C-alpha cells in the first residue's frame, strides 16, 4: 500500500479465469481509496514478459523519487519463481524492468526460489527481503539482498546478504513456513511483520526486530495476530501481512483471511499501537 496522488493505492494478488470458470493464472489488482475503508478496483497488471507468462502476484509498492516501484513475484514456476521489478509515474501503468527477474538467491542452503518481495531503505542502502525454500522445497524462510541508495533496482544492483536464511521457522505455530515479510523502520530499528505457517495451516502473523537488517530477533513466542476462532471469517488464517503507516500518526496492519481453507480470500486490517518499541494490535 502507498499514498500517492491524493489517494491510497492497494496492490494485491487476484486470479483470472477462463470462460469455463477455470483458474487461468494470477495477476496484480489495483484498488484505490480515500479513507482506507472503502475500496474500488481501478486496474489490473497482467503478465507481459516471458518469465511472467504463468502469472504474477504478491506485489510490494515503493514510492521514491516521485515514482512507484513495484516488486512482485512470478507465479507457477516452482523453484524457478523469482522477484521482478516495474516502475510507474502514475501508480497505474507500469513499465517492466528489462533485466527481470531481478533477484533470486544462490547457495546450497536454498532452492533458488524467491517470492513475496519487500524493499525498504535503511542505513543508506536499499534492502530487499523475500521468501525462499530449502533445497527440498519443504521449508519456507527469509532471504535478503542489498543495493546502493542510487540503485536503479535492476538485476545487477542486488547483492545477496549472507549465505543462509535471515529468519527461518522455529516456533511451533510457525510450522514449516515464514514468508510475506512487511517491514517498517521505527527508532532506528527495523520491524518485520511476517506470516508463519503455510496458507490455512493456519497462517498467522508474527513480528521480529533488527538493528542492522541482517540479524533478527522475534518479539513474541506467540502470534501478534492470530487466526480467528471456529466460525469466524478468518478461522482458516490471518496471513500475508502488509504494514502501512498513513503519515498521520496511524499505523495499520492489512492481512488476508478466510474460513474455507482458501476457497475464497478477503482483505482486512487492524490498527497497530506501540508500547516501548513493541507493537500490539489495538482493540
Residue 131 within any structural domain of the chain: yes
Residue 51 within any structural domain of the chain: no
Distance separating alpha carbons of residues 270 and 273, to the nearest angstrom: 10
Residue 4 within any structural domain of the chain: no
Lowest mean pLDDT across 9-23, 170-184, 213-227, 252-266: 9-23
H or E, element range at 95: strand 95-96
8 A C-beta contact, residue 73 and residue 82: yes
The total of structural domains in the chain comes to 1
Domain containing residue 129: CATH number = 2.115.10.20
Pairing between strand 7-17 and 2-4?
antiparallel
Residue 12 within any structural domain of the chain: no
Owning domain of residue 205: 62-281
| pLDDT recorded at residue 25 | 87
Distance separating alpha carbons of residues 247 and 238, to the nearest angstrom: 25
Q: Kindly report, residue by residue over 192-203, the tens digit of the pLDDT.
A: 999 999 999 999
Residue 224 within any structural domain of the chain: yes
Residue 54 within any structural domain of the chain: no
Q: Is 155 helix (H, G, I), strand (E, B) or coil?
A: helix
Instruction: Please state whether the predicted TM-score (pTM) of the whole model is above 0.85.
Output: yes
Residue 115 within any structural domain of the chain: yes
What is the residue-averaged pLDDT of the chain?
96
Residue 43 within any structural domain of the chain: no
Amino acid at each position: 500500500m502507498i499514498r500517492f496522488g491524493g489517494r491510497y493505492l492497494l496492490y494485491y494478488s487476484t486470479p483470472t479465469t477462463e470462460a469455463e470458470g477455470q483458474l487461468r493464472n494470477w495477476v496484480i489488482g489495483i484498488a484505490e481509496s480515500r479513507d482506507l475503508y472503502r475500496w474500488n478496483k481501478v486496474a489490473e497488471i497482467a503478465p507481459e514478459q516471458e518469465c511472467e507468462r504463468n502469472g504474477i502476484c504478491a506485489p510490494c509498492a515503493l514510492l521514491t523519487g516521485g515514482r512507484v516501484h513495484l516488486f512482485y513475484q512470478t507465479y507457477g514456476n516452482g523453484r524457478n519463481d523469482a522477484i521482478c521489478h516495474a516502475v510507474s509515474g502514475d501508480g497505474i501503468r507500469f513499465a517492466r524492468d528489462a533485466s527481470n527477474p531481478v533477484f533470486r538467491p544462490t547457495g546450497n542452503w536454498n532452492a533458488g526460489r524467491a517470492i513475496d518481495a519487500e524493499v525498504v531503505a535503511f542505513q543508506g542502502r536499499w534492502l530487499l527481503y523475500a521468501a525462499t525454500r530449502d533445497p527440498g522445497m519443504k521449508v519456507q524462510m527469509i532471504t535478503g539482498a542489498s543495493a546502493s541508495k542510487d540503485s536503479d533496482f535492476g538485476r545487477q544492483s542486488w547483492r545477496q546478504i549472507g549465505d543462509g536464511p535471515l529468519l527461518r521457522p522455529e516456533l511451533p505455530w510457525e510450522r514449516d513456513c515464514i514468508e510475506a515479510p512487511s517491514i517498517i523502520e521505527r527508532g532506528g530499528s527495523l520491524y518485520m511483520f511476517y506470516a508463519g505457517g503455510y496458507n490455512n495451516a493456519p497462517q498467522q502473523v508474527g513480528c521480529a526486530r533488527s538493528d542492522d537488517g541482517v540479524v533478527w530477533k522475534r518479539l513474541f513466542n506467540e502470534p501478534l495476530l492470530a487466526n480467528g476462532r471456529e466460525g469466524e471469517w478468518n478461522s482458516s488464517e490471518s496471513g500475508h501481512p502488509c504494514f502501512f503507516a498513513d503519515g498521520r500518526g496511524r499505523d495499520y496492519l492489512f492481512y488476508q483471511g478466510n474460513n474455507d481453507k482458501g476457497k475464497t480470500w478477503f482483505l482486512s486490517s487492524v490498527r497497530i499501537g506501540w508500547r516501548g518499541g513493541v507493537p500490539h494490535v489495538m482493540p
